[in-house]
Homo-oligomer: A and B are copies of this chain.
């Protein structure tokens, strides 16, 4: 199976697609730009959802659900918002089909035209803030801390599984606050939650920062983000958290009476991560043999592969493995005894490597005699002889070690791929060479940012939080600059 995977060195982009489809995580559907998330992929997404949902609830958020459709006029209420989303909207115009008069299939019934077109939500600020108007009267109704798990649609011309699809799954937090300070604090809290989730669940180090004005969310005052680095040196925006000021409250007239009896508009944030995060860990950790799944989000932690020639040998292995499986399950692990008899152990090894099972244990008659087992860890592909009697204790430790090792590896890669440059020559050299983040001075103007993007395809990924102030000159224009920002080519 793994021989169907294009090596990273040959074609990174193809490697990624081979991996996602070969490991049966997802596939393109026959509907333009929409993907099918297959059971193997969805099981991982479910674990990610559970992890995120726990962090959201621990920070006081509740889930709710708002309509899929947004009246067209709502989008227009916030000027920058509509500007940002109008170009990629799926528009519902009719509510009925009828038999084709020529008898062939069905056609849209022209008599069932909507008075006002509905937009399939690309994001839900407008419909949610229109609803919040009814929920918020006084400071006692604040803060309102709500999250929604949902599908959204942004019509994309060029799509890539998980990373960019017309429909994707995500969560979107939408919070309302009495003061600017509280809202800004919330936006920061949630980008830190994303950072924590990336680090602890996805084993993914990220840079936390602020977006430049041109990369900001349409309708936000400030956009915070986490930026990850893939193995090909390209950056991936993995989550964003927006301070929306009073923009949406004004657009939808959401006012409240504060504790002194004064009316004011409500302050807002929104924040989201999506199935794009699947692409993030896949591209950051996997290798030419297949997926490397961080154990914390793995749907299957351990697979036992019996080595046998006869039914008796299989039975003997099964007898030895059964209690081990039970012991590991009792520790909360997901474990499989792969006793399929239509494929050979070598095939199973390759398949489990492709699927990214963190720990594989092979046991045969010789191991039964010696009391040992051959344990393979997916991250390093090392094979360790471990006494069977110690497996129940050692495997959970090993899983933690794998989780830590994957993170350490990604962190080393990231840190060795942040390059300070002071000239445009060097800037382009690094971009064409090892890639990664480039820390460079920039004159702060959107024009220069656009010029650099046009000339090099690199964008400003973010201005890191707590960025040291430092006098310098813009690598492109030579104009004065007070701090470095991070550039990269990005997905």
Contact = CB atoms under 8 A, between A and B. Distances in A.
Interface of A: 27, 29-31, 34-39, 41-43, 45-46, 62-73, 75-76, 82, 86-99, 105-106, 108, 117-120, 127, 130-131, 134, 140, 146, 150-151, 153, 155, 167, 169, 342
Contact of A66 (B29, B46, B66, B120): B29
Contacts of A88: 95-96
11 contacts: A27-B131, A31-B67, A34-B67, A37-B65, A39-B62, A42-B62, A42-B65, A75-B97, A87-B96, A97-B119, A151-B151
B63 A43 contact: yes
Nearest to A85: B97
Among A65, A68, A120, A153, the most chain B Cβ lie within 10 Å of the Cβ of A65
Contacts of A42: 62-65
B91 A94 contact: yes
Nearest to A342: B140
Contacts of A108: 72, 91, 93, 117
Contacts of A140: 342
Given A31-B69, A41-B64, A72-B108, 14 more contacts: A27-B131, A30-B127, A31-B67, A31-B127, A36-B66, A39-B146, A42-B64, A46-B63, A69-B90, A72-B105, A82-B106, A88-B95, A88-B96, A140-B342
B118 A97 contact: no
Contacts of A46: 63
Contacts of A99: 86
Contact of A91 (B38, B92, B105): B92
A119 B106 CA distance: 11
A46 to B, nearest CB: 7
Nearest to A86: B97
**Shortest 10 CB-CB contacts between residues of A and residues of B:** A34-B67, A39-B62, A76-B105, A86-B97, A37-B65, A91-B94, A95-B155, A31-B67, A93-B93, A90-B92
B64 A151 contact: no
Contacts of A120: 68, 92, 120
Contacts of A35: 67
Contacts of A95: 88-91, 155
B65 A169 contact: yes
Nearest to A153: B68
A434 to B, nearest CB: 36
Among A93, A95, A169, the most chain B Cβ lie within 10 Å of the Cβ of A95
